[in-house]
Amino acid sequence: MSSSEQLPKNEENTKNAEHVVTRRLKAPYLSGFILRIMIFLMDYMPGVTKYLFWNAGLKALRKLSIDDCPTLIPLPLPKETFGIVETKTVDGLEIFEKQKNLRQKNYYSSGFLRASDFHEAYLAKRVTPLQVCEVLINKIDESLKRCNPPLNAIIKYKRDDIIAQATASTERYANNKSFGLLDGIPIAVKDEIDVKGYETNVGTKFINRGNPATSDATIIERLREKGAIILGKTSMHEIGFGSTNNNPSVCTPRNPYNTDYYPGGSSGGSGVAVASGLCPIAIGRDGGGSVRIPSSFCGIYGLKTTCGRFSDDGLYPLAHSVAVSGPMAASVDDLALAYYVMAGKDPKDPNTLHQPLPTLHGLYDTNTLSDLKIGVYSMWNKQVDNPAITTALNSFINELKLRGAEIIEIKIPELEEARIAHLLTIGTELTTVAKRHKDKIHLFSCPTRSNINVMKLATASYKVIMQVFECNNSLAKTVNLKQFLLLLVVSQQIRTRIMRTLKNLFNNQVDLILTPATAITAPKIYPRALAHGEVDVTVISDTLRFIQLANFTGVPAVSIPAGYDNNNLPIGLQFIAKWYDEAKLLRIAKTSEEILGDKRRKPSDKFWFGNYVQEVSENFSGES
Cis-peptide into 447, omega within 30 deg: no
621 is catalytic: no
Q: Residue 10, exposed/middle/buried by CB under 10 A (0-12, 13-18, 19+)?
A: exposed
Phi, psi of 302 (to 5 degrees): -140, 130
- Catalytic site residue from 290, 311, 321, 445: 290
Q: Which among 302, 517, 271 has a CA at the least distance from the CA of 393?
A: 517
- The b/e string for 331-343 (b: 16+ C-beta within 10 A; e otherwise) is bbbbbbbbbbbbb
In the 8-state DSSP scheme, what is residue 605? G
**Residues 322 and 551: beta-carbon distance below 8 Å:** yes
Q: What is the DSSP letter of 176?
A: T
With contact defined as beta carbons under 8 Å apart, do 544 and 289 qualify? yes
CA distances to 62, 459, 476, 481 from 467, rounded to whole Å, are 24, 10, 11, 12
SS (H, E, C) 225-268: HCCCEEEEEECCCHHHCCCCCCCCCCCCCCCCCCCCECCCCCCH
How many CB atoms lie under 10 A from the CB of residue 131? 18
Continuous segment of H or E residues that includes residue 196: none
CA distances from residue 309 to 87, 353, 497, 508 in whole angstroms, order as listed: 16, 9, 22, 24
438 carries an active-site annotation: no
Nearest 5°: the CA angle 592, 595, 599 is 115
3-state SS record for 321-361: CCCEEEEEECCHHHHHHHHHHHCCCECCEHHHCCCCCCCCC
Identify the active-site residue in 190, 435, 584, 602. 190
Nearest-angstrom CA–CA distance, 285 and 291: 6
The answer for residues whose C-beta is within 8 angstroms of residue 38's C-beta and 6 or more apart is: 30, 48, 450, 535
- Alpha-carbon dihedral angle through residues 502, 57, 387, 506, given to the nearest 10 degrees: 0
Distance CA 207, CA 236 (A): 13
Chain CA centroid to CA 569, Å = 18
Q: Calculate the CA 529 to chain-centre distance.
A: 22
Instruction: Write down the H helix ranges in 436-520.
Output: 446-455, 462-471, 473-478, 481-508
Say which of 243, 266, 296, 331 is annotated catalytic.
266
557 DSSP β-pair partners: 304, 576
CA dihedral sign, ordered 350, 233, 288, 359: negative
- Three-state secondary structure call for residue 170: helix
344 burial level (CB within 10 Å; 0-12, 13-18, 19+)? middle
Using the 8-state DSSP alphabet, how is residue 607 labeled?
G
Annotation says 348 is catalytic: no
Burial of 77 (0-12, 13-18, 19+ CB in 10 A): exposed
Do you find a cis peptide bond into 149, omega within 30 degrees of 0? yes
Task: Enumerate the active-site residues.
Answer: 190, 266, 290
